[in-house]
Chain A
Amino acid sequence: MFLPVFIYVLIVYYWPMLGVRYAFYDYTLKKIEFVGLKHFTKMFSDADFWKAFTNTLELSIIKLLITTGTAVIVSVFINEMANLFAKKVLQTVIYLPHFMSWTVTAAIFTLFLSTSSTGFVNETLKNWGLIKESIDFMHETSLWRHVYYLVNIWKETGWGTVIFLATLSGINPELYEAADIDGATRLQKIWYVTVPELLNTIIIVLILNLAKVLNLFESVFVMYNNRVFDVSDVISTYIYRKTFMTAIPNYGYSTAVGLFKSVVGCALVLICNRASKRVRGRGII
């Protein structure tokens, strides 16, 4: 039984990884030539690459903190709701955006925030007399990231509450009863009972997601544009442009950037694994 599984793993998981060797080759239009570290030298001296790298970290980490924070707050709020029907309806409603594709989500928000007469937000703000000129939410470097985070909150908060609600339902009711006896208010119960009980889960969720911070593509790709590259271009979109939007791509260079991303990602996984061991006594891998 061992051999078929071993062969399967070898072919399906390891064989494709052999492509990483092209990071050390010029691979363009039938020309495959060993070039050593040329692509890495070029990559590290490319300002656009570093911009993409820092953007990836900033966008991912802030997004992770914001969406996790929002999910915690919403979970606590849902947990406090006494009306079971309203609770179920709210849960369903906030889960739904998660199942919408990023392409559709981006199209909806682009239309919603458009500066043309079809842009609901701008038209409403104008009608209320709050602004005179339309605000170009999707093209302003100072606004794009805020919009990006908001869209992420809208789309992912509901799904993020699943794990926290499960934890909340497992909190020992005696803790709340004891707090009641001590005369704790509702807010005090949340602060002194609920939040500490959730803390371990929050840390685990953060650690698990931290290992994936470099895997940011679809959400950015469907929402960014030329004018906001400075604040939105991430490693995956950088690789995409170098590979699929170049007249004659050099797959060697794209592979080198991809390899760098994988190495950093791997290091992050190991760091998170160690952190996980410390926090919960066991690793994630």
Chain B
Amino acid sequence: MKKKVLSLLLATAMVASLAACGSAAPESTDTQSSDTSAQSGDAAATDTADSAAEDYELTDLYITVDGTLTANVDNGQDAFIEQWEQAVSEKIGHPITLHINQPEHSGYKDNVAQLLTTGQPGDGQYPDALIMSATMFKQYQTTGILWNMADAYANAEFQSRVTLPSINENMKTASGELYAFAPTYGNGCVTYVKQSWLDAAGLKIDDIKTFDDYYNMLKAFTKDGQTGVIAAGFGKLDEAPYINYMPEFWQGAYPAIYKNGDQWVDGFQEQATIDALNRLAQGYADGVIDKDTEEATTKVAREKWFSNDQTTSEGVFTYWAGTWLRTLTDNLDKNDVDADLGDDRLVQLAPIKEIKDTWGGYLNREAPVWVITDDGDGNDAREQAIFDALIETMLDGDKVQTLWTYGAEDVHWSTHAESFTTNPDDPDKKKDYEYAEGEFHLKQSPNDPNAVWKKNHLDPVLVIAPLTNGFIDNDPLVTAGNKFFTENCVDAPQSPSSETLTEVEADLATDKTTYLNNVVAGKMTAEDAIADYQSKWGDTINTILEELNSAE
């Protein structure tokens, strides 16, 4: 009997709490309404923002960043935070504390979704500002949680030094709102080929001009456990620009919704995609594409590529341009691969004819951005203060920009005279570095004394407003890599922003990846895959296209 009474009591308590909690829910909806109205671009509110910001004292700044902030907790982040706080406190006139939340890079998107859905400003986890990829940003742009920083951006001090104004201007909505800030342009991937593999096959990089040339090169590389090419997936269909890890196979195809002329269309249903799927399937069947490609993450793919066991490696890898040319070369060096070739281990393949004839070059992705969250109180003071402390200072051309570009002084870089040696115990790899007093240079990595630090968050070559203090890392390999990319790239298509697309995008990407993998593995034909896709997703895609085209 006692048991039954207790059960009844518990059930009653639960029902009562349910009713109580349920009645509280609509209040949250009201918050959303005010949030949306706060973003309506009310001119009066904007006019008062600056004066309100002067009254608002931002003492704690919570930011969420992905792996592109390379000064992580194992790599001198404490010093970065300390020097940032000191420099920014001086600039804004009062002390400020920086809190960095850096989730694991591969799970960043999911982590951010949870933070933004379940958190509240000021709860110690909810980000005041955060990094987003272009795809993520487009998904969040219409949700009302991002702050319209158009005015703050227009009035920013760094405007006079911006050399690439189009990057941020192009992100504005039709009505002129700007919900994100890109401190750099996007960068993209280029195809790297191992020189030693070319030599062994008796090939020259300049002779690889068409897809047939490229394919024959892969065939020549494929023997005795070695394979032509590896990538992180045959296509990365959840992250724009989707095709950049295997551009030679994808050529002019774009397996996503994109703007063709003045109309939004679904590239996955186009003949170019069917042709690309067939090329990939052929490459897989011929064994020139490494079988691990299907499941490999970027980390797995690149580590296999520069592994010290080259007998099961690949000759070709398409990866990020510029700094990554140095990183890949250094990793080959670390693994004793082609030591005799030094910095000439890798050669960059110019876009093949089929890419030039369609896109015009490798794709320069839409830039990753910083966004500021709107607390929805109808007052821009907090958001303006975040902009002033974080974004305004990020491109100050001097101290703070150097922190974001190279990291902390005397931890990641220095101007003091010093000498150091990397790999001191290995005569083959040992390298001495010596710098005079006043000479800017990068130091040994905090967590790897055998490697020289490369950069922090901002790539000095890609940044839209260059440093004014003359601190430039003149690594000729990085410079050559960046030059090669800028000479051979075109801007990637703009990502769409639609409510329905945001709702289904993850499922859509999962299904498209399944179709892609099935076709490549020979489980279904490309035509059947597209027909199946059309029957499952056709109506939804039409709705998305209608939303996008009617918004134009």
Q: Interface of A with B (CB < 8 Å)? A: 6, 9-10, 14-15, 17-18, 21, 25, 27-34, 48, 114-118, 134, 136, 139, 225-227, 229, 241, 244-251
Contact = CB atoms under 8 A, between A and B. Distances in A.
A245 B110 contact: yes
Given A226-B510, A226-B517, A245-B110, A116 B291 contact: yes
Interface residues on B, range: 35 or more
Nearest to B312: A117
B114 A248 contact: no
B110 A227 contact: no
Given A18-B18, A227-B294, 17 more contacts: A14-B14, A18-B17, A29-B143, A30-B28, A30-B145, A30-B376, A116-B292, A139-B517, A227-B518, A227-B521, A227-B523, A241-B506, A244-B110, A245-B110, A246-B113, A248-B117, A249-B114
B139 interface: yes
Contacts of A117: 225, 312
B136 interface: yes
A116 B21 CA distance: 54
A251 B113 CA distance: 11
Contacts of A244: 110, 113-114
Given A32-B29, A247-B505, A248-B140, A226 B513 contact: yes
22 contacts: A6-B6, A9-B10, A14-B10, A15-B17, A21-B18, A29-B144, A29-B145, A32-B26, A34-B25, A114-B292, A134-B291, A139-B517, A225-B517, A226-B513, A227-B518, A241-B506, A244-B113, A246-B113, A246-B505, A248-B143, A248-B502, A250-B503
Contacts of A116: 290-292, 312
B10 to A, nearest CB: 6
Contacts of A114: 291-292
B225 A30 contact: no
- What secondary structure prevails in chain B residues at the interface with A? helix
Given A21-B18, A245-B110, A247-B113, A32 B295 contact: no
A247 B109 contact: yes
B25 A18 contact: no
Nearest to B514: A226
B476 interface: no
Given A29-B117, A248-B502, A229 B521 contact: no
Contacts of B203: none
Contact of B13 (A14, A34, A241, A251): A14
B304 to A, nearest CB: 9
A247 B29 CA distance: 21
Closest 8 pairs (CB-CB, A-B):
A32-B28, A226-B514, A246-B506, A247-B139, A117-B225, A244-B110, A32-B25, A115-B291
B354 interface: no
Contacts of B35: 30
B22, B113, B144, B502: most-surrounded residue (chain A CB, <10 A): B113
B32 interface: yes
Interface in B133-148: 136, 139-140, 143-145
Contact of A10 (B13, B31, B292): B13
A157 to B, nearest CB: 28
A17 B110 contact: no
A9, A15, A117, A251: most-surrounded residue (chain B CB, <10 A): A117
Contacts of A10: 10, 13
A248 to B, nearest CB: 6
Contacts of B32: 30-31
Contacts of B139: 247-248
Given A225-B295, A246-B506, A30 B521 contact: no
